[in-house]
Structure 1
Amino acid sequence: MKKTPPSEKLEIPIRRFVTKRLIGVNRDATIQEAASRMVEFKISSIAVVDHEDVIGIVTDTDFKKKALAEGRSPEEAVHKIMTSNPVTADINTTVRHVLELMYKEKVKHILVSEDKKITGITTLKELEELDLHGLETLIARE
């Protein structure tokens, strides 16, 4: 099987690397409920929703920095530790642009929109399938 060069992989739309089943919790769910849901689905982030609209995201890092390190109660509402206005990208955005966004915004999770509605998520871990070492080397040279 012929390997695709890293430069071509950068131009692939992220739609191939999007988890379309976006797992979420209501903004008033507890921190503990959100963490339990993440464990249940074996995911490293969870969407926070309000009336079916995604209003934020909570990641493993948020739990460490904003809940545990600050001594918050597991019974507090998850919206208190979420990242509001999370970084998003359109489903047709190229891998190159998503990696640049992740680097610029210092995030590992990007919510993906289709027709201006959040429909999924992509993570740095999912993009590792692209031989990220080769991609990072290529980006660093540009």
Structure 2
Amino acid sequence: MVGVFILAKSLTQGKASGEKSGDSAESEKSSRKRDELSEAAQESSQGSEAFFESIVKGSEGCLWMTIEELMTKDLVTVNEDAPIEEVFSVFAKNPYHTLPVVNKKGELAGIIDLDIILEILLLCLMPRAKHTPLTARRSLGENAKEIMITHPVTISLKSTLKDASDLMMKHRFDHICVNENGKLVGIVSKRDLVKEICRRRKKEVSKEKED
């Protein structure tokens, strides 16, 4: 009987020892995995920081450049008294998303965007829930003045790229008209900003490779 007890105790101790050994191996494996994940996260973080720095390097040099250097000066506009069919024709012939509307003095009176044009042309396909007094009034409009967005947000000629980007991101604009002494002198788009920043980044990268 004593021999059986000793054998049972021995087996129990062996099992416990085996479990302890297994737990130790599992713990070591988990520790290695945590270390690997930590290293991967650190590498990812370093990569993100490097990417962010490259963007900053490309943009910081042009943040304070004036809109006058970037804006499109050769503008396509429409007079506020232009018939609605003329407005449709201008959009059909040009790849623009926004069309400035000016009065006889050349002052910015409003803007018309593609959303307005689509609302008018496809009103019959719109759900009735989206039929508002504004869309109804625009659908009956006979000239640019009757369908345009009045009092558009503008920016001055001496404003910076940073000023323009802040406005665009805040109000979700793709384009902003540029005013000088009440007159429309240009228009700046997100594409203009992106092109300039990318050009600067490319120049910076090329310079670093030469060094």
What is the TM-score with the length of structure 2 in the denominator?
0.53
Instruction: Output the amino acid matched with 2:149.
Output: T
- Aligned equivalents of 1:26 and 1:116: distance in 2? 16
- Counterpart amino acid of residue 42 in structure 1: P
Q: Which residues of 2 match residues 50-61 of structure 1 at below 5 A? A: 50-52=103-105, 53-61=107-115
TM-superposed CA distance for 1:69, in Å, is: 4.7
Contact 2:58–2:197 (8 Å) recurs in 1:
no
Instruction: Give TM-score scaled by structure 1 length.
Output: 0.75
Separation in 1 of the partners of 2:158 and 2:148?
26
2:93 is equivalent to residue 27 of structure 1: no
Per the alignment, residue 157 of structure 2 pairs with: 91
Change (3 A) 1:99 1:18: same
Match of 1:109 in 2: 175
Match for residue 7 of structure 1?
A: 60
Rounded to whole Å, the distance in 2 between the matches of 1:38 and 1:69 is 15
Q: How many residues align?
A: 129
Q: Distance in 2 between matches of 1:21 and 1:34?
A: 18
Q: Distance in 2 between matches of 1:64 and 1:105?
A: 21
Distance 2:110 2:100 in 1: 6
Q: 1:102: Cα distance to partner? A: 1.2
Structure ranking higher in strand proportion:
1
RMSD of aligned alpha carbons: 2.5
Give how far 1:58 is off.
0.8
Q: Report deviation, 1:88.
A: 0.8
Q: Report the identity percentage.
A: 27
The structure in which a higher percent of residues are helix is 2
Superposition deviation, residue 84 in structure 1 = 0.7
User: Cα 1:123–1:35, aligned 2, differ >3 Å: closer, same or farther?
Assistant: farther
Distance in 2 between residues matched to 1:81 and 1:58, nearest whole Å:
7
Superimposed CA distance per residue, residues 46-88 of structure 1 (whole angstroms, 9 cap, x where no aligned partner): 21122132200111222224x2354526x72222221111111
Distance in 2 between residues matched to 1:17 and 1:64, nearest whole Å = 29
Structure 1 unaligned residues grouped into runs of 5+? 133-142
SS of 2:101's equivalent? strand
1:126 alignment partner in structure 2? 192
Check the 8 A contact 2:62/2:197 in 1, yes or no.
Answer: no
Q: 2:117 aligns with which of 63, 66, 76?
A: 63
**2:142 corresponds to:** 76
Distance in structure 1 (CA, Å) of the matches to 2:115 and 2:192: 17
2:71 counterpart letter in structure 1: V
